[in-house]
Structure 1
Amino acid sequence: MKKKKKIAIIGASYLQKPLVQKCKKMDIETHVFAWEKGSVCKDISDFFYPVSIIEKHKILEVCRRINIDGIVSISSDIAMPTVSYVASELALIANDPESTFATTNKYAMRKRLSSHGLPCPEFYRLKGSGGFVPVELDFGKSSFVVKPTDRSGSRGVRKVNRFDELEVAIQRALDESFSKEVIIEEFITGREISVEMISWKGEHFFLAATDKVTTGPPYFVEIEHHQPAELSEKFLDKIKFIVKNALSALGVCYGASHSELIITQKEEIIIVEIGARMGGDFIGSDLVALSTGYDFVKGVIEVALGKFNFPHKTLDKYAGVYFLCHERSYLTEIFLNDSSEFIVAKEIFDKPLVNLTDSSDRSGYLIYQADRKISFLSGERICEVY
């Protein structure tokens, strides 16, 4: 009887659920590490270990003892240093710790990308308890965005338009930061997209581009994603070139990546940030497969186990996700009553609709797949396909 492969999965929230489910379909034994509280994957994994995902030494000890064949996590920046550390110690497939730091720390990322001549906003770093504010900030020229260097999901992010708004924004970002480090960036106006790729031995393969809609300033919480992004082939090729160069500059060699970009009115491409992991919000776990036919989750698992199949597009569909919140309260009726065939999945959480300050405030989601992009019109509470 063929021995089952064993894979360690770092994290057990809803983000990792597609990973555990896919491993089961692939007949791979799952070993999941996370705090027990809120662990969605606890009851569906083969083995569960109630260990914090940042306790990399404890996780290494267990992984060495059980002799895992691979280690992986999707859609979680916090998990990636542990994935990288354990893989490097056990000679498994993952990006090395230096690359992982560059893709999980926004300041290190900015420094690396800028040193390679790649397009980034101006940026400054603050460490510790705040206080000092860079004198270079010129509010007559630009607004700025304040962020923790080491968080995702819009946590601690805020736009500031005046100098007297900085202190509150900096403190908010520091409160969210694990390392108590903040980055202040020039605010760039434009259209937001993301690019989803998978890498193998330093070669990067394009999967999809995603149009993103946020709440806008001051918090920029994402409320819609749509694939494919509406881009000309020529402009998309330019984007691919920049993203592939950025991934190489950051030392990304293996697995999923999610690159967030802004396209200005002058069609300049500015890199917002790059994660060496799947995009969250169902982008990597659902939308890529729904729009292209490529099983991104399976691909990431195979890479972690030392196997790679070149990605092939087998579908040419539109796919997207809408999130429920106070700003989009008109969607409630659609979430409750619409049973259109293009709706793949939807759920309303048991929580009130609130104005969003980060992604955890959202109250539900609706995923679609169709032959055209689906747009929900606020005034008429109906859906339009165009």
Structure 2
Amino acid sequence: MTPPRDPGRLLMVMPYEQLVRKAVEAGFEVWSIWDPALRTPEYLDKVAAHSRELALVDFGDETALRALVARLAREHDVQHVLHLGSEATMAPVLAEAEALGLSPNTAESVRLLNDKHAMRGLLNAHGVSAVRARRADTLGEVEPLLTDFGLPAVVKPTNTAGSRGIALVRTAADLAEWTERVKAGGFEGPFIIEDYLEGPEFSVETLTAGGTHHVVGITAKQTTGAPGFVETGHVHPAPLDPADAAAVRDTVTALLDLTGYAFGPAHTEVILTPAGPRVVESQARLGGDRIPLLVEVATGYDIEAAIFRGLAGEDVTAPAPHRYAAIGFFQLPAGRLESVDGLDDLRARDHVHGVHFPYGPGDVLPRTTDSGTRHGYAVVDAPTPAEAADRIAAARTALRTTTTQTPKEALR
């Protein structure tokens, strides 16, 4: 089905540059809102180039943010308001959009996805992907709750992503280390305590249109494991037994049904335990770690563009993979970068679809503690998962660096 020639006017909050471009390509007129503290002027210029107007506001000022959403929507006769960026600022935007009658989702449906404790309570109440869990409103409540809950247990903030603030606690020493890390990261809670789920991990990308959930693909995750579970790589599609893949898909779509999610992408993380799939967390947004690129390399399907085609009225379908795609994150020693070589050769390889290394000589490579402190990545294609793993290993070897140690304070 061809999208209408004039699908309407769209207001997007925190839209990444390529999303604005793809919305315009689908026929929308786009107004954009960003916080200038979160992106460089050069990046915001790219957003503005595709937008009818780029408005700037402090996302930390929820009153000002809501007022700006309302003003732009009314002044420009906007038909839809979307927030596809970080979930941290979704709540006030969706509350205002819902009040204006311009959101394809209720604020409550998105809250149920984004808030880990709310999501877990919803699933447990309906006997879907049940996992024992407790909520601690403050950091001081975690230790006494853990005493009653029992170890081992996973602890994490209820509203973060990217492995930030998560840990497996087996001992008092683990709890002390996590407590210090949480304090240093400024996480004030609430926190969730859950049973430790053992098994391979997967990310499930979905695109919902008209209340129907389409599973775009399942991605196998590789992590450092306990205690921080930092993601080190992914392969798409996941090499899964068909029965297991069907169980994972059914679990994720059941979650989306329970929340009442009606439109847009969702990124859901699942562990395939001996008792079946268990949802770890979900967010009402596209997956990070370049997973949309992995999907496109493996299938030819542009999930970012499909969002706006679906909003414009085109039928949404799930893609079929014809090869594998993998991402591997560079794992370098922390310290001051003295030299770097091999990037041009790596980018020139036919099977490489993306390389990111945002450091140069003189920069300090941080110690990797979460997704935000990893050192870059390479994306490759391959005919098999084993060959994808070999190509990622070769990409890591191709990046040649030398570093010198610096004081711990400089690495934080």
State how 1:58-77 maps to structure 2 within 5 Å.
Answer: 58=67, 59-74=69-84, 76-77=86-87
Offset at 1:37? 2.4
Q: Deviations over 1:81-116 (max 9, x none)?
A: 244223312322422111111111111111001101
Counterpart among 204, 209, 220 of residue 195 in structure 1 = 204
The change in CA–CA distance for 1:269 and 1:206 in structure 2 (over 3 A counts) is: same
Matched, 1:43 2:45: yes
| 2:137 paired residue number | 127
Distance in 2, matches of 1:176 and 1:368, equals 33
Offset at 1:127? 0.9
Offset at 1:333? 6.3
Secondary structure in structure 2 of the residue aligned to 1:21: helix
Answer whether contact 1:32 1:42 (CA < 8 A) is retained: no
Single out whichever of 37-46 and 215-224 deviates more from structure 2.
37-46
Distance in 2, matches of 1:379 and 1:327, equals 16
Secondary structure in structure 1 of the residue aligned to 2:140: coil
Distance in 1, matches of 2:183 and 2:124, equals 24
Structure 1 unmatched ranges of 5 or more:
none
Answer whether contact 1:72 1:301 (CA < 8 A) is retained: no
The change in CA–CA distance for 1:95 and 1:174 in structure 2 (over 3 A counts) is: farther
Answer whether contact 1:150 1:179 (CA < 8 A) is retained: no
Offset at 1:196? 0.9
| 1:279 paired residue number | 287
| 1:354 paired residue number | 366
Aligned pair count? 371
Single out whichever of 64-73 and 164-173 deviates more from structure 2.
164-173
Distance in 1, matches of 2:396 and 2:304, equals 37
Query: Which one-letter code corresponds to 1:126 in the other structure?
Result: A
Query: Which one-letter code corresponds to 2:354 in the other structure?
Result: A
Normalising by structure 2, we get a TM-score of 0.81
Identity %: 26
Secondary structure in structure 2 of the residue aligned to 1:259: strand
The change in CA–CA distance for 1:312 and 1:243 in structure 2 (over 3 A counts) is: closer
Offset at 1:162? 0.9
State how 1:4-83 maps to structure 2 within 5 Å.
Answer: 5-11=8-14, 16-39=16-39, 41-44=43-46, 45=48, 46=51, 47-53=53-59, 55=62, 56-58=65-67, 59-74=69-84, 76-83=86-93
Distance in 1, matches of 2:186 and 2:110, equals 17
| 1:313 paired residue number | 319
Secondary structure in structure 1 of the residue aligned to 2:44: coil
Answer whether contact 2:358 2:376 (CA < 8 A) is retained: yes
Distance in 2, matches of 1:4 and 1:200, equals 15
Answer whether contact 1:33 1:53 (CA < 8 A) is retained: no
| 1:367 paired residue number | 379
Q: Deviations over 1:233-272 (max 9, x none)?
A: 22211111111111111221211111101113x3621110
Counterpart among 268, 271, 290 of residue 262 in structure 1 = 271
Distance in 1, matches of 2:328 and 2:358, equals 14
Distance in 2, matches of 1:328 and 1:21, equals 37
RMSD (CA atoms): 2.9
Counterpart among 163, 172, 182 of residue 163 in structure 1 = 172
Matched, 1:296 2:303: yes
Distance in 1, matches of 2:70 and 2:136, equals 32
Q: Deviations over 1:265-306 (max 9, x none)?
A: x3621110122221111113x222222222211222234x45
Single out whichever of 194-203 and 165-174 deviates more from structure 2.
165-174
The change in CA–CA distance for 1:320 and 1:72 in structure 2 (over 3 A counts) is: farther
Single out whichever of 29-38 and 203-212 deviates more from structure 2.
29-38
Offset at 1:359? 1.1
Distance in 2, matches of 1:95 and 1:299, equals 17
Offset at 1:119? 1.7
Answer whether contact 2:6 2:28 (CA < 8 A) is retained: no
Single out whichever of 274-283 and 80-89 deviates more from structure 2.
80-89
Secondary structure in structure 1 of the residue aligned to 2:365: coil
Distance in 2, matches of 1:127 and 1:136, equals 16
Distance in 2, matches of 1:234 and 1:246, equals 19
Offset at 1:4? 7.9
Single out whichever of 354-363 and 31-40 deviates more from structure 2.
31-40
State how 1:78-227 maps to structure 2 within 5 Å.
Answer: 78-131=88-141, 133-134=144-145, 135-139=147-151, 143-170=152-179, 172-173=181-182, 180-227=189-236
| 2:393 paired residue number | 377
Which of the two has higher C-alpha Rg? 2
Query: Which one-letter code corresponds to 1:68 in the other structure?
Result: V
Answer whether contact 1:294 1:311 (CA < 8 A) is retained: no
The change in CA–CA distance for 1:51 and 1:189 in structure 2 (over 3 A counts) is: same
Q: Deviations over 1:314-351 (max 9, x none)?
A: 6522122222232799xx86645323201112121125
Offset at 1:150? 0.8
Answer whether contact 2:13 2:32 (CA < 8 A) is retained: yes
